[in-house]
Amino acid sequence: MKADMPWLKPVAQQWLQQRKQGRLGHALIVQGPSGVGKGRLADWIVEQLLCESGRGCGLCKGCQLLAAGHHPDRYDLAPEGQQIKVDSVRTLISQLAGTSHQGGARVAVLNQAQRLNQASANALLKTLEEPPAGVYLILVVGPGQPLLPTIVSRCQRLVVPMPTAEQIQHYLGADGVPLAQWPYWPRVLGGPMALKEAIDAGQLERLSGLLEAWRRSLAAGLLDAKLSQVDGESAATVLKLLYFELLSQCEEKSERMAWCYPVMKQVAQTQRWLDRQSGINLTAVFQQLIAEYRRHALEGE
Would you tell me which residues interact with Zn ion (CB under 5 A)?
51, 57, 60, 63
- The DSSP bridge pattern shows strands 27-31 and 106-110 to be unpaired
Q: State the Cα–Cα distance between residues 237 and 187, nearest whole angstrom.
A: 10
Nearest to Zn ion of 57, 222 (CB atom): 57
- The DSSP bridge pattern shows strands 156-159 and 106-110 to be unpaired
Residues 126 and 118: beta-carbon distance below 8 Å: no
Residues 186 and 195: beta-carbon distance below 8 Å: yes
Nearest to Zn ion of 19, 90 (CB atom): 19
Nearest to Zn ion of 51, 241 (CB atom): 51
Cβ of residue 206: shortest distance to Zn ion, in angstroms? 44
Q: State the Cα–Cα distance between residues 268 and 274, nearest whole angstrom.
A: 10
Nearest to Zn ion of 49, 246 (CB atom): 49
Cβ of residue 110: shortest distance to Zn ion, in angstroms? 24
- What three-state secondary structure class fits 222? coil
Nearest to Zn ion of 47, 245 (CB atom): 47
Cβ of residue 54: shortest distance to Zn ion, in angstroms? 8
Q: What are phi and psi of 22, to 5 degrees?
A: 70, 25
Nearest CA to 138 out of 66, 78, 72, 59 is that of 78
Cβ of residue 61: shortest distance to Zn ion, in angstroms? 8
Cβ of residue 68: shortest distance to Zn ion, in angstroms? 13
